[in-house]
């Protein structure tokens, strides 16, 4: 048993594939949650439960780094607000208005937005191939918005869910850019502090749903969604990704993000029986190709 675990823990390709598969599963879970648990309550439940799990495991490490974290409390709150509370809230609300296939493809724009943001905020060097990758990736996002019909551009009326998902992508891109100025402590321990902030900041939204009568308390399916999003995309994916970064570095690990929109589309078709149109295939191809070209050619080696 120990040998099997040790072997598994030394396989970055397997760990990263599972990581992106779990992230893609969050797309399906968000769509499956519609009518079974309200978005605000799901967001709060996800981070609230994780707040019970992670500090129990990492409480010693948290105490050791508390002096560093205490001096960066504004940063911790901002990161929990952007990357955890706001991103997931918009993510789950968007599932009420658009398809999981669209959500998955639009999610593929996050690394492209990060590249653009890194250039303007940190003046990170960007190559001509990366510029091409950004352009091609954005073409894929526009293809989703236009439903593959360019003639609709003049009379474009964007789907509310697609707009919300685009906003969610901007929030998560901001969260990713913020990681560049993170304090020098363990990634999973820092994430634990982010999760605490995310649960505290998402609690008022769940309370507001209860106050205005829009809350949907989880039924059996709702609880299944809560368990999945708490354990897999929130917990295991974080651990697997951090372990993979230790094994092969952040650049090569980041390339696997390309799999997320692919897995999202496949899971939506297989598990939710959503239609996969030709324009979805075109958009997915453009987004993945853009992600590949926009990756850091040095870090990816």
Chain segment 242-252, per-residue pLDDT in tens: 888 778 766 56
8 within a domain of the structure (yes/no): no
Q: How far apart are CA 42 and CA 64, in angstroms?
A: 31
Burial of 125 (0-12, 13-18, 19+ CB in 10 A): exposed
The pLDDT assigned to 255 comes to 67
| pLDDT tens, position by position, 162-196 | 889 989 999 988 988 888 888 888 888 999 999 99
Whether pLDDT at 154 is above 80: no
Note the pLDDT tens digit of each residue in 209-226.
999 999 999 999 999 999
Q: 3-class DSSP state for residue 274? A: coil
**173 within some domain:** yes
Alpha-carbon distance of 228 to 287, in angstroms, equals 27
Structural domain boundaries, residue 162: 14-294
Mean pLDDT, range 28-50, rounded to an integer? 95
Is 254 among the domain residues?
yes
Residue 153 has pLDDT above 60, yes or no: no
Q: Please give the full DSSP string across 108-133, using - where no structure is assigned.
A: TTHHHHHHHHHHHHH-----HHHHHH
* Average pLDDT for 35-50: 96
* 4 part of a folded domain: no
pLDDT at 157: 53
Supply the mean pLDDT for the chain.
Answer: 85
Tell whether the model's pLDDT for residue 118 goes beyond 70: yes
Judge whether 38 lies within some domain: yes
**pLDDT category of residue 75 using cuts at 50, 70 and 90:** very high
Count how many domains the chain has: 1
pLDDT at 268 over 60: yes
Domain annotation covers residue 85: yes
What pLDDT does 301 receive? 42
Could you tell me where the DSSP H helices lie in 95-249?
100-107, 110-122, 128-146, 160-178, 187-211, 220-231, 237-248
The mean-pLDDT minimum among 201-210, 237-246, 255-264 falls in: 255-264
- Is residue 104 in a domain? yes
The answer to whether the CB of 252 falls within 8 A of the CB of 299 is yes
Contact 26, 94 (CB under 8 A): no
Nearest to 236 by CA among 64, 8, 7, 2: 8
Question: Is 261 a member of any domain?
Answer: yes
């Amino acid at each position: 048993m120990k040998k099997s675990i040790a072997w598994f823990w030394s396989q970055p390709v397997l760990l990263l594939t599972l990581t992106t598969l779990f992230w893609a599963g969050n797309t399906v879970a968000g769509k499956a949650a519609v009518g079974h648990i309200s978005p605000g309550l799901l967001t709060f439940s996800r981070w609230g439960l994780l707040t019970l799990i992670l500090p129990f495991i990492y409480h010693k490490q948290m105490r050791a780094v508390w002096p560093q974290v205490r001096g960066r409390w504004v940063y911790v709150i901002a990161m929990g607000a952007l990357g955890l509370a706001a991103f997931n809230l918009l993510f789950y609300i968007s599932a009420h208005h658009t398809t999981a296939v669209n959500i998955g493809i639009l999610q593929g724009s996050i690394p492209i937005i990060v590249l653009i943001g890194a250039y303007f905020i940190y003046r990170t060097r960007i190559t001509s191939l990366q510029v091409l990758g950004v352009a091609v990736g954005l073409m894929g996002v526009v293809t989703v918005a236009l439903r593959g019909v360019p003639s609709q551009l003049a009379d474009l009326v964007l789907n509310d869910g697609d707009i919300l998902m685009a906003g969610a992508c901007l929030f998560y891109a901001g969260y990713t850019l913020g990681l560049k100025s993170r304090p020098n402590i363990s990634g999973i321990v820092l994430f634990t502090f982010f999760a605490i902030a995310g649960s505290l900041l998402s609690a008022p939204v769940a309370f507001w749903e209860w106050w205005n009568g829009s809350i949907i308390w989880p039924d059996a399916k709702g609880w299944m969604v809560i368990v999945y999003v708490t354990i897999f995309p929130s917990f295991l994916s974080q651990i697997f990704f951090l372990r993979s970064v230790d094994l092969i570095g952040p650049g090569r690990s980041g390339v696997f993000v390309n799999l997320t929109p692919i897995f999202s589309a496949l899971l939506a078709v297989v598990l939710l029986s959503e239609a996969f149109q030709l324009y979805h295939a075109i958009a997915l191809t453009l987004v993945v190709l853009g992600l590949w070209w926009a990756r850091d050619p040095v870090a990816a080696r």
